[in-house]
Structure 1
Amino acid sequence: MKAIWNNTVIAESDKTIEVENNQYFPPESINSDFFQLSDTHTTCPWKGKASYFHLKVGDEKNPDAAWFYPQPKPGAAKIKNHVAFWKGVKVEK
């Protein structure tokens, strides 16, 4: 699987985990050059507290376009620190 934004591959892995129609990429599969930690947090009733990344490719920024669960609840333990995308990020095989 590849995550692409602004014509750039920002993550690539053959070990993603699908949860609720989202592909979660292992932390080592993201290109950290394009990720900036955000102050945004949300809470999912069964996964726990999510943290977010802004994406920055070239001069373009996509705020809060990626999220992950640093301390997921037990039912979501398998996606700990895995990264998922939205806001125009294309995820494809």
Structure 2
Amino acid sequence: MRATVDGTVIAEAPESELVRIEGNWYFPPSAVAPGALSESPTPYTCPWKGPAQYWDVVTPKGTTKDGAWSYPDLMPSAVDRVGTDFAGYVAFSPGVTVSEG
């Protein structure tokens, strides 16, 4: 699977390494291109996953504000609910295309 913005690859990994939650693909942190994400101050807490970290997606053509998010410190019940630990995995918002590579 591949996440792209304006033709720039932001993240890439085999589907078997991703986690699908609520219609979103979560990429392992190691799949994200170096320098592609910049920490955003946008706050959000999911009632069942816990506090989120939003990221701006940075490409040579510009920045997609809050184009990605992750959950660095998951609630234990979230791991139980999903069946795997996805702490730090990164999902992408509209504006970032996620497709089969």
TM-score, reference length from structure 1: 0.94
Alignment of 1:64-75 (within 5 A): 64-75=66-77
**SS of the residue 1:9 aligns to:** strand
Instruction: State the identity %.
Output: 39
1:16 is matched with which residue? 18
1:79 is matched with which residue? 86
Alignment of 1:19-58 (within 5 A): 19-58=21-60
The one-letter amino acid of 1:81's match is G
* Cα offset, 1:40, TM superposition: 1.3
**SS of the residue 2:20 aligns to:** strand
Contact between 1:62 and 1:87, CA under 8 Å: does it hold in 2?
Answer: no
Asked whether 1:3 is paired with 2:6, we answer no
* Cα offset, 1:72, TM superposition: 0.8
**Structure 2 stretches of 5 or more lacking a match?**
80-84
The 2-side partners of 1:79 and 1:49 are apart by 13
2:82 is matched with which residue? none
* Cα offset, 1:79, TM superposition: 1.3
The 1-side partners of 2:42 and 2:55 are apart by 8
1:91 to 74, 78, 98: 98
Structure (1/2) with the larger strand percentage: 1
